[in-house]
Amino acid sequence: MSASSSPDRSQGRAGALSPQQDLRALLWCAGAFLAAVLLHVGRIPLWASATAALCAAWTVAIALRRMRAPGRILKGALALVLVAAVIAVFHTLNGLAAGTTLLAGMGSFKLLEASARRDRYIVIGTALFLLLAACLSEQGLLYAPLYAAHAWLCCWALAIVTHPESTLGNRAAGLLALRSLALALPLTVLGFLFFPRIAGSFWAFPSGGATTGLSDTMSPGAISDLSESLAPAFRVWFDGSPPPPAERYWRGPVLHHFDGFTWSRPPFHGSSFGGESVPLGRAYRYRITLEPSSQHWWFALDTVDGSPSTAVRLTTDHVLVSERAVTEPVTYAAVSHTSVRAAGSLPFAARHLDLDPGPSDRNTRAYALARRLRSQAPSDGAFVGAVLGFFRGGGFEYTLTPPQLGADSIDDFLFSTRRGFCGHYASAFVMLMRAGGVPARVVTGYLGGEWNPIGHYLLVRESDAHAWAEVWLEGHGWTRVDPTAVVAPERLTRGIVDFLPDATSAPERLLLRVPWLVSARQGWDAANAWWTNRVIGFSLNNQLSILHRLGFAAPRTRELIWMLACGIGGWLAVTTWQFGLPRSARPDRLARAYRRLCSKLARAGAPRALYQGPLAYTEAIARRRPELAAAAAPLLAAYAELRYGAISEETSAKARASRVADFERRVRALKPAARRARASR
């Protein structure tokens, strides 16, 4: 930061500004900067936003001479405090959040010394960099009009700071800013379409936010907490009709290890356990856009045929695991079969892992129940049916608000509370299966989804989170068993919001039940989906596809660069032709009225020479047509006074406009006789 108290050279040439003009330019500069800081409310610390507001108020007080400007020592101390505060909060000066906070603070202190025009340029430039940081942080459709409005505000403020004289009013400055942005729009579109996209999401920054979605562990109540959220998890576009609602299982983490209370996924993610499967029935082809979750899971319809990306590993328990956490929207295509059959026997290691029922000193009553039911079942399939029958006739209840469970969570659920969510039933069922000698595992993911008729896709929300079980049956392989369907069969065909309406708040139920609100919500979600896929997800492949449609047989990055260069050249040529060539100014009302007066006098036989001003023209009329002088001389004198006369500062614009209108009326009323007509008479 550098202090600058003297006016810059451009101000010196134009003359000193009045206090009102200077304050006006300063207020617009401060407003553009504060608006940029407001874009980051909630993403930067509250003290950073408060600092910007206080510095803006201090700046205005300095301009009004009610407070003194800070000295060099105070400004240096404030800068050191700012850096120390950023390091204390973020433990670094790198990264989007830390860098944005530091930039907002430095811009606030720069505003304190923005007495010269060049300092105000720096503040507005800082506001534009803060706008760029906001674009990198949040790219949803809701933010797009806010970003556009702030860009307009910054250009508006820049026009006023550049031309602080009162002749450029606020409305004229706004129109100038809007015109400048309109000129830049074609260049923006060219850059978006043809600037080569770098693989790996060059503009993406790790969000560093809280982790959402399904994790690789499941404790009692974990999924029920997640199911209270209506946030979108992903959207699915099918090639053809989607599967029936009861088959819309979206596979996520598979949990193998049980410690008596919590299920978890081994660190190897099942890479060496499972078995090959043979797909049966129809193949469903679809495209998924996954919302950011800070997790590594890519969800797919159970069961996916293969990995959709080289950066995503398909484990042998059919889970898609990405090398990088999902911190931005991801779109991928997949193929799935909802029915599969094992191609061989279960490997020994997988059988050993999925037969472990947990610590032997925990959930002892559940162990005894499993042994009793197993002794009465002649086969693994019969044992599965016996356990499901226990759930069906045991007085169990499906609820989002189950009571708390103790350390022996399975015993408490099966014999005491008997009230639970899908995670409770899947956990208890798998533990009983293992205690009875049947390999089993817990599968977490999502069930169902809401069909959007506007966008023609399936919206799967976090509230659709679900857990089910898989058991190994010889000759069939891993078989899905959903014990929740025994207690609450309607859950397979209805979303959790429809099935348990009390799971959402009253405003959310209103959005989900009132027909016109439902249509509006689906329309907005479809617009968001289009924005995410077509704008945020616009990739190098999309660019090459555009080139292919333009006639390039084998488009490459080189062709993109050529198209971009040709487009920029054409834009520069059109801009230069339209706005770079000198053009005559459009005449104002007074000039147009004067032209009509000269035209009437010329038809009467007294044309004006190009070099003659209004007074010289009056003398020429007196010599050529003395009879016209009496009518023309007052009008020409009035024009000379309005155009060239000295007008005092007290003369208002309204009074001048009234005099111009009177001059127009007098010109219209003038009807001089033509010389030719008089000679004929």
Domain ranges of the chain: 19-166, 219-511, 589-680
pLDDT digits (tens, 9 = 90+) for 300-341: 998 899 999 888 999 988 999 998 988 888 999 999 998 888
**Looking at the DSSP assignment, which residues form a beta bridge with residue 342?**
277
pLDDT digits (tens, 9 = 90+) for 335-394: 999 888 887 788 888 888 999 888 888 899 999 999 999 999 999 999 999 999 999 998
Distance CA 239, CA 282 (A): 12
Distance CA 614, CA 635 (A): 9
The pair of three-digit structure tokens given for residue 498, joined into one six-digit string: 């429809």
pLDDT at residue 206 is higher than 80: no
Average predicted confidence (pLDDT) for the chain:
85
The catalytic position among 40, 256, 296, 466 is 466
- The pLDDT of residue 398: 87
Q: How many residues does the chain have?
A: 681
- The pLDDT of residue 153: 96
- The pLDDT of residue 500: 59
Instruction: Tell me if the pTM is above 0.75.
Output: no
Burial classification of residue 264, based on how many CB atoms lie within 10 Å of its CB (0-12 exposed, 13-18 middle, 19 or more buried): middle
Measured CA to CA in angstroms, residue 151 lies from 33, 130, 142, 271 at distances of 11, 11, 16, 50
The catalytic position among 119, 482, 525, 598 is 482
Distance CA 98, CA 87 (A): 8
Considering only residues 681 and 556, tell me which one the structure prediction assigns the higher pLDDT: 556
Question: Where would I find the H helices in 625-652?
Answer: 626-644
Measured CA to CA in angstroms, residue 57 lies from 28, 112, 161, 401 at distances of 13, 9, 19, 50
The catalytic position among 29, 55, 422, 598 is 422
pLDDT digits (tens, 9 = 90+) for 250-295: 999 999 999 888 899 887 644 444 456 788 889 999 999 999 888 9
Measured CA to CA in angstroms, residue 678 lies from 161, 271, 624, 632, 675 at distances of 60, 110, 15, 18, 5
Distance CA 559, CA 553 (A): 11
Average pLDDT over residues 238-242: 93
pLDDT at residue 651 is higher than 60: no
Average pLDDT over residues 58-87: 90
482 given a catalytic annotation = yes
C-alpha 333: how far from its chain's center?
23
